Amino acid sequence: MKISDILQDEFVSTKLQGKTKEEVLNSVIDLLKGSKKIKDLDKVREAIFEREKIMSTGVGKGFAIPHGKTDAVSDIVAAFAVTSEPVDFQSLDGEPVRLLFLLVGRDNMVGPHIKLLSRISRLMNKDEFRKKLLTAKSSSEIVQFFKDEEISYFDI
């Protein structure tokens, strides 16, 4: 499964609002409101916040990858956002976050979930790619950046 298979324009924001970790998490989860794959958005929210309690998903370099598994989705869903302002995310490197990639999978889809987390992490580890995402003007531009980067980075 590719990132470009699950990330769609309508679930991407270039100016996500929120001043706290909780606010931006709620805002990025709310991007999924229109997804037909979501059975219960409140349960999705609960899964994401429960995972966040274990350890911050702020992995460093201004990036966080909030994720969780729940049967409140029918398939893997994703959202991506660039925050309007840097947000303290209790990141591993102590740096504030501006880029969030939300990934929600079903409880029984551990393999694809882990592979996608790994793929997202590898792409987001590239400084130039993160800079491009921060300057994107539209949702469709962000989705295209992911498609292009994925093609050049992985054998698909």
Q: Residue 75: which residues within 8 A CB-CB, separation 6 or more?
A: 37, 106, 109
Q: What confidence score (pLDDT) does residue 39 get?
A: 97
Rounded CA-CA distance 117/156 in Å is 17
Q: Residue 107: which residues within 8 A CB-CB, separation 6 or more?
A: 69, 70, 71
Q: What is the pLDDT of residues 98-124, one digit of tens each?
A: 999 999 999 888 788 888 999 899 999
Q: What confidence score (pLDDT) does residue 4 get?
A: 85
Q: What confidence score (pLDDT) does residue 49 get?
A: 97
Q: What confidence score (pLDDT) does residue 154 get?
A: 63
Catalytic residue, chosen from 21, 45, 67, 113, is 67
Question: 């990858």: which residue's tokens?
Answer: 65
Q: Where are the domains of the chain?
A: 3-153
Q: What confidence score (pLDDT) does residue 155 get?
A: 53
Rounded CA-CA distance 55/19 in Å is 20
Q: What confidence score (pLDDT) does residue 13 get?
A: 97
CATH of domain 3-153: 3.40.930.10
Q: What confidence score (pLDDT) does residue 156 get?
A: 43
pTM of the model: 0.94
113 is catalytic: no
Below-70 pLDDT ranges, the chain? 154-156
